């Protein structure tokens, strides 16, 4: 498969129309149609469902759409890294991470790095542990910031000097808002919004002393921002990390930490035997020098 043809395919998937895609690509519709048929013959699968008004994708087409985007992103990233001047440290650094106040450590490192090397550009991706590790494995990310990471023996990593505090985000008119902390028994029967992160659920199960699924879970979320809106509307209370939602005197929400305290560690990881660009190597050096963390390369 040629990257050029994959770009054609992605244009058709985006436009949902061969004629509109041909126009955006500045090529004739018959030429584009022929390229798509050749791609389907090469793969031995139908990729496109041709309708009267717009086209759709088969299951194989949707899979190719995802993989093609990843392949093109990786190709562009590689081309950018190789083509940069040897005399000037510049380029792009791709960092993925979950929601954590500990990202401030990374932000401070980025500020100092860009002050010294203004031609370095940072690209952030937000996602859960599974998302981050998948993109690291595919080479789409240089670094991943993981909260309370699972076994990461396939990666080198730096433990960062920060620990997130887990607790309950709630409305200020909630009965639990009058307390300083939230205990396991306080969660009995109240409506809960919970992260879909499996590792986080296991930690909370251990803290509860019972299975996580025994909670009255009324909604799940990936990132806390939208979940906080549901909390504001009185849907329930959200189990999350502290300082992810900006609270003030005017905010209708408040946060109460768990008791006994439940904390999460933080680390930054990268693939073993990773060949870094000069920009990415500088980031790692700056992060290590600034924070003086322990580097573990098992």
Domain range list for the chain: 3-81, 88-161+265-296, 163-263
Same fold, 3-81 and 163-263: no
| 260 upstream amide cis, omega within 30 of 0 | yes
pLDDT of residue 291: 58
> What class, spelled out in words, does domain 163-263 have in CATH?
alpha beta
pLDDT of residue 158: 87
Query: Rounded mean pLDDT of 214-240?
Result: 95
Using alpha carbons only, give the angle 276, 280, 283 rounded to the nearest 5 degrees.
140
Residue-wise pLDDT for 47-63, tens only, equals 988 877 788 899 998 89
pLDDT of residue 165: 95
CATH code of 3-81, in short, is 1.10.10.10
pLDDT of residue 174: 96
Task: Count other C-beta atoms under 10 Å from residue 131's C-beta.
Answer: 16
The answer to whether 219 and 158 are in contact (CB under 8 A) is no
Q: pTM for the whole thing?
A: 0.66
Residue-wise pLDDT for 154-210, tens only, equals 899 888 888 899 999 999 999 999 999 999 999 998 999 999 888 889 999 999 999
Scan for tokens 């498969």, then name that residue.
1
Fold type of domain 88-161+265-296: D-Maltodextrin-Binding Protein; domain 2 (3.40.190)
CA end-to-end span of the chain, whole Å? 37
| Alpha-carbon distance values, 152 to 59, 149, 198, 298 (Å) | 32, 7, 15, 9
Q: Is the pLDDT of residue 297 over 50?
A: no
């Amino acid at each position: 498969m040629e990257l050029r043809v994959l770009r054609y395919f992605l244009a058709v998937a985006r436009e949902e129309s061969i004629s509109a895609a041909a126009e955006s690509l500045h090529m004739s519709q018959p030429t584009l149609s022929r390229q798509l048929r050749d791609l389907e013959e090469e793969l031995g699968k139908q990729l496109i469902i041709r309708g009267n008004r717009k086209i759709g994708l088969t299951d194989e087409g949707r899979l190719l759409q995802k993989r093609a985007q990843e392949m093109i992103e990786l190709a562009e990233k590689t081309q950018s890294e190789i083509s940069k001047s040897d005399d000037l440290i510049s380029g792009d650094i791709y960092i993925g991470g979950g929601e954590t106040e500990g990202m401030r450590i990374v932000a401070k490192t980025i500020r100092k790095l860009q002050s010294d090397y203004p031609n370095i550009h940072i690209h952030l991706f937000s996602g859960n542990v599974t998302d981050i590790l998948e993109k690291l494995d595919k080479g789409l990310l240089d670094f991943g910031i993981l909260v309370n990471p699972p076994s990461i023996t396939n990666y080198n990593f730096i433990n960062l000097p920060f620990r997130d505090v887990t607790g309950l985000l709630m409305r200020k008119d909630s009965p639990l808002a009058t307390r300083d902390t939230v205990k396991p028994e306080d969660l009995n029967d109240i409506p809960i919004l919970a992260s879909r992160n499996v590792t986080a659920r296991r930690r909370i199960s251990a803290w509860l002393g019972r299975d996580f699924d025994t909670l009255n879970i009324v909604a799940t979320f990936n990132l806390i921002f939208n979940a906080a809106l549901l909390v504001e509307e009185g849907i329930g209370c959200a189990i999350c990390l502290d300082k992810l939602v900006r609270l003030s005197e005017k905010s209708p929400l408040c946060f109460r930490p768990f008791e006994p305290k439940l904390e999460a560690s933080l680390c930054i990881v990268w693939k073993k035997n990773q060949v870094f660009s000069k920009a990415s190597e500088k980031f790692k050096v700056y992060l290590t020098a600034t924070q003086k963390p322990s580097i573990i390369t098992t």
